[in-house]
């Protein structure tokens, strides 16, 4: 399975083509829209979310609410584009008409300057329009399709926020508690007291014209053991997940299970002892986050990821005008003071794609029933191993 996204932040629409989904799986636009709605929420979001009401149109690969096995095309219209017709129009412009909203002062921490150098753009809007996190709406749409597939296989995936700007939820919750309470508030934090601390931290950053980052967690339950491979570096599933997560805008670190805490622990406290009962093999702990040797071991997958503060600041940092080479403050674009709650949704859907892709690579899967049957046989084999 693979997908390709296209579209600019203030362009007419985002388009996604997904290839490789099995046939005979129920899929409707409402299923995808529910996930897109979650991405738009969260405390600290900016005015863009009041304009864009993301909804998807399925234009191929589905007939009467059921997948055909052919490429699926998803389209998300940018409602804000009508305000940007003279800035982001596709047709050639009159040579006498000046280009509007040209950007020549790159923002530190964004793709502006390096992207302009690489693709030889003198107007850095040509860079920021595509490098914008607006593209993550398309990735969530893909992940929503993948989540529906995973649900048909009995696999659950969900996420939460662990930390925003130093306000951290250090509680050790059972997985079912996280699953049942991750959407209880607007920062997606399980502990309501910590949630208020997070809001206060966001408000302080906003009042200072600053931005703030944090840490999110994604959990995947009921994944069959044996996905991924130990035989070569590029077949390790935790490596594929790490690449996918880090490719999300502003994500700068990723770990699994106990993650960074492992550097403080002896090996006896890190490895997960093995047990066996009538249900098959299991681990007595899950410090490794569901992975051994680059392969799933049947325990829940635990992915932790860190998002840096958004680089667009309302009190901009020092920059240089690429035309005059004079020192200036960086350009200001409409932005969020904190997007960590929304980023947890994006991360969840990026993980969903990688898990779904690995399953489709591992098992014969032209048709959903065929895939379900193959996974059932695989689990029976593991139990008797």
CA angle 184–190–192, rounded 5-degree value: 80
Q: Is 110 exposed, middle or buried (0-12, 13-18, 19+ CB in 10 A)?
A: buried
Flag whether 130 is marked binding. Answer: yes
Whether residue 131 is annotated as binding a ligand: the answer is yes
Crossing angle of helices 136-152 and 368-384, in 10° steps, is: 60
Report yes or no: 205 and 212 within 8 Å, Cβ to Cβ.
yes
DSSP-assigned letter for residue 30: H
381 backbone dihedrals φ, ψ, rounded to 5° = -65, -45
- Report how far residue 272's alpha carbon sits from residue 289's, in angstroms, rounded to the nearest whole number: 10
The answer on whether 248 is annotated among ligand-binding residues is: no
Would the annotation count 377 as a binding residue? no
| Residue 199 annotated as binding site | no
User: Residue 221 forms beta bridges with which residues?
Assistant: 156
Q: Binding residue per annotation — 45? A: yes
CA dihedral 26, 29, 34, 38 (to 10 degrees): 130
Q: Is 13 exposed, middle or buried (0-12, 13-18, 19+ CB in 10 A)?
A: middle
Measured CA distances, 6 to 73, 76, 137, 197, 360 (Å): 11, 11, 11, 38, 24
- Which residues are annotated binding-site positions? 39, 45, 130-132, 249-250, 293, 308-312, 334
Known binding positions for NADP(+): 39, 45
Binding residues for FMN are 130-132, 249-250, 293, 308-312, 334
């Amino acid at each position: 399975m693979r997908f390709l996204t296209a579209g600019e932040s203030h362009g007419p629409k985002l388009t996604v083509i997904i290839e490789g989904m099995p046939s005979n799986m129920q899929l409707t636009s409402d299923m995808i829209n529910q996930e897109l709605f979650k991405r738009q929420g969260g405390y600290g979001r900016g005015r863009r979310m009041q304009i864009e009401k993301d909804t998807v149109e399925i234009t191929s690969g589905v007939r009467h609410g059921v997948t055909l096995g052919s490429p699926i095309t998803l389209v998300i219209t940018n409602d804000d584009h009508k305000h940007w017709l003279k800035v982001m129009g596709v047709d050639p412009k009159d040579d006498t008409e000046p280009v509007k909203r040209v950007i020549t002062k790159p923002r530190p921490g964004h793709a502006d300057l390096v992207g302009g150098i690489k693709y030889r753009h003198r107007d850095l809007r040509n860079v920021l329009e595509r490098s914008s996190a607006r593209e993550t709406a398309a990735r969530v749409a893909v992940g929503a399709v993948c989540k529906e597939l995973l649900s048909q296989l009995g696999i659950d995936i969900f996420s939460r926020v662990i930390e925003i700007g130093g306000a951290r939820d250090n509680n050790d919750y059972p997985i079912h508690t996280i699953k049942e309470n991750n959407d209880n508030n607007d920062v997606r934090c399980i502990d309501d007291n910590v949630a208020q601390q997070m809001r206060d931290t966001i408000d302080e950053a906003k009042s200072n014209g600053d931005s703030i980052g944090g840490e999110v967690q994604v959990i995947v339950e009921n994944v069959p053991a044996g996905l991924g491979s130990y035989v070569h570096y590029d077949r390790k599933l935790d490596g594929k997940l790490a690449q996918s997560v880090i490719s999300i805008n502003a994500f700068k670190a990723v770990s699994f299970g106990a993650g960074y805490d492992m550097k403080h622990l002896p090996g006896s406290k890190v490895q997960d002892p093995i047990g066996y009962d009538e249900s098959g093999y299991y681990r007595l702990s899950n410090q490794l986050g569901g992975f051994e040797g680059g392969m799933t071991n049947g325990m829940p997958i635990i992915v932790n990821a860190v998002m840096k503060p958004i680089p667009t600041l309302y009190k901009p940092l020092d920059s240089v005008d690429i035309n005059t080479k004079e020192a200036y403050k960086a350009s200001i674009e409409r932005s969020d003071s904190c997007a960590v709650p929304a980023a947890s949704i994006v991360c969840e859907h990026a993980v969903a794609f990688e898990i779904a892709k690995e399953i489709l690579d591992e098992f014969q899967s032209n048709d959903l029933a065929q895939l379900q049957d193959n996974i059932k046989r695989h689990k029976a084999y593991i139990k008797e191993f």
